[in-house]
Structure 1
């Protein structure tokens, strides 16, 4: 951490690095999404039914094995497509207008972590938009390059958001992350955040595959600083 500087986002210097880091970071979760899908009872039941039905009708192992292999490839493709769709959506919305979304007002900000002239992490903060979290700051777009994970960059970015929110008088910091992001959830727990609820997404595929969101909250008035 001695060589890492956390500073406010500069569009002309950081836009390309931020977009690339977000894309790579989200794409890394495709294998996790695939394995998560395979653990779901509905997916296992479909694979088993297809295998047994083809085995019974063909009396050969080759056809059912090929069919299941194709189904597995299809599940992997669905995970890849869903991830690519989400990445594209974010790159066209808030990450395409960081200055307007996160830097135009005094109660929002976007930071990057820089090491030896290279952006290695990022995080954003803005007032939570939903009524249930009125008066809270929302931590968003946390990402750290794989090369710098486990070095304290993520913790430093979290502390930056917490300090900013406390300084602005927010009651708490809230965030949502995916059930697929185990490392991120572990980091937030270590930083003092507590899970408040699990949110089921309304879309068909995320719903049946249990790609849920987990909401975290850190109450600032009762929070002690952590290492």
Structure 2
């Protein structure tokens, strides 16, 4: 079937490029011009967590997004973000048992496009932080492609990877012969190990706050009392960088 030229322009624009929604365009502008040589104390970070209907971004969906802002390595507890997300498909019972969010409870929640646009406005120019963050980013990117016309632009620091490198280096420094890979790298387990606050698991807002505490702890350990830049932290932790 031949489609009118207007249909093509609506989805791809006059230049043949995918049309980007205003929320994504604003996000990309906010992310421009970051100096990776800046010290961590001069930067904003946003710790993020999501709850999901499953683990495959192609078949499953977001059901909540939680985030907390950090200025430098100081958590801003009064600057948090939380939204439920109304998925287009079903919410499997096994996922509801984990995060306690059901289809009926999400019926009045914002649609995925609205929830994502609100999150991007909160994010602003900040660098994103999360635990096992490539899972969250897979869903955020997929939602952004569906509704906003492309991927997000914010770089992401994975506290899971940073913790693994920290434990490996600590093991070598202590002359130990154990296996750092065998440790429990779940977010609650790491917070308990390092004496950090422990919050209820599988709640996007609480998990984002726990990831923020973990990030501050590990970043300070990597700095070892010296100024540390964003690029230096990335190199120190072999981070996943979006």
With normalisation by structure 2, the TM-score equals 0.25
More strand by share: 1
More helix by share: 1
With normalisation by structure 1, the TM-score equals 0.26
